Structure 1
Amino acid sequence: HGVPGALVSVVGINILNQILDATPSISTGELLNQLHRNIINALNKDSRARDSYDGMDIAVIRIDKPASEIQFSGASRPLLMCSKEKTELIRGDKYSIGGVKDLDDATSFTTHTFTVKNSSLNLYMFTDGYADQFGGPKGKKFMVKQLLTLLAESHHLPLHEQASRLEQNFDGWKQNFQQVDDVLVIGIRV
Structure 2
Amino acid sequence: MTLGNTLLSAASRLFRQPLASDLCVATPSIAAERNNAAVLEIFSKHRELISLPVLENERPIGLISRNIFMTQMSRPFQREIYDKKSCIAFMDKDPLIVEADTSVEQIAEMAVQMGDKTLADGFVIVKDGKLMGLASGLELMRVVVELQAQKNRHVMQSIEYASVIQRAMLSTSHEAMAGELDDAFLVWEPRDLVGGDFYHFERLDDGWFAAVADCTGHGVPGAFLTLIASSTLKQAIDRHGARDPAKLLADVNLGIKHALGQNDIGSRWSESDEGMDAAFLCYEASARRLTFAGAKLPLFVLVPDEPGVKMVDGERIGLGYVSTPQEVAWSSKTLNLPEGTIVLAATDGFTDQIGGQKGISYGKRRLRDAIIAQRHLPMNQFANVLMDEFKVYQGQQMRRDDVTLFGFRLK
2:291 to 49, 53, 71: 71
Q: Deviations over 1:34-93 (max 9, x none)?
A: 110111111118x9x953334201101000102221100111100011122332110000
Which residue of 356, 369, 372 maps to 1:149? 369
Question: How does 1:1-150 map onto structure 2 within 5 Å?
Answer: 1-2=217-218, 3-44=220-261, 50-86=270-306, 87-101=309-323, 103-116=324-337, 118-150=338-370
TM-score by length of 1: 0.89
Distance 1:123 1:44, change over 3 A: same
The structure with the largest alpha-carbon Rg is 2
Structure 1 stretches lacking a partner, 5+ long: none
> Shift in Å at residue 32 of structure 1?
0.3
Cα shift at 1:157: 1.5
Structure 2 CA distance, aligned partners of 1:131 and 1:51? 30
On the 8 A contact 1:57/1:97 being kept in 2, the answer is: yes
Partners of 2:256 and 2:275 within 8 A in 1: no
Displacement of 1:106 after TM fit? 4.2
**Partner residue, 2:152:** none
Q: Does the aligned pair in 2 maintain the 1:4–1:52 contact within 8 Å? A: no
TM-score (norm 2): 0.43
**Aligned residue pairs: how many?**
188
Counterpart residue type for residue 175 of structure 1: G
Q: What SS does the aligned partner of 2:401 have?
A: coil
Q: Distance in 2 between matches of 1:104 and 1:137?
A: 41
1:184 corresponds to 2:404: yes
Contact in 1 for aligned 2:240/2:248 (Cα 8 Å): no
- Give the CA RMSD over aligned residues: 2.3
* Cα distance, 1:161 vs structure 2: 1.6
2:394 to 155, 174, 177: 174
Partner AA of 1:140 in structure 2: I
Superposition deviation, residue 138 in structure 1: 2.2
| Change in CA separation of 1:50 and 1:69 when aligned onto 2, cut-off 3 Å | farther
**CA–CA separation in structure 2 for the residues paired with 1:145 and 1:132:** 12
Structure 2: give runs of 5+ residues left out of the alignment: 1-216
**Contact 2:253 / 2:326 at 8 angstroms: preserved in 1?**
no
Distance in 1 separating the partners of 2:381 and 2:302: 16
By how many angstroms is 1:4 displaced?
Answer: 4.3
Query: Whose relative contact order is higher, 1 or 2, with alpha carbons under 8 Å and at least 6 apart?
Result: 1
Which amino acid is the alignment partner of residue 280 of structure 2? V
Structure 1 Cα separation of the partners of residues 408 and 316 of structure 2: 24
| Native 8 Å contact 2:349 2:402 kept in 1 | yes
Aligned-pair identity in percent equals 26
Distance 1:182 1:69 in 2: 30
| Compared CA separation, residues 106 and 41, structure 1 to 2 (3 A) | closer
Q: Which residue of 1 aligns with 2:114?
A: none
Counterpart AA for 2:387:
E
Provide the secondary structure at the position in 1 that maps to 2:227: helix
Q: Partner amino acid for 1:115?
A: N
Q: Could you tell me how far apart the structure 1 residues matched to 2:273 and 2:286 are?
A: 40
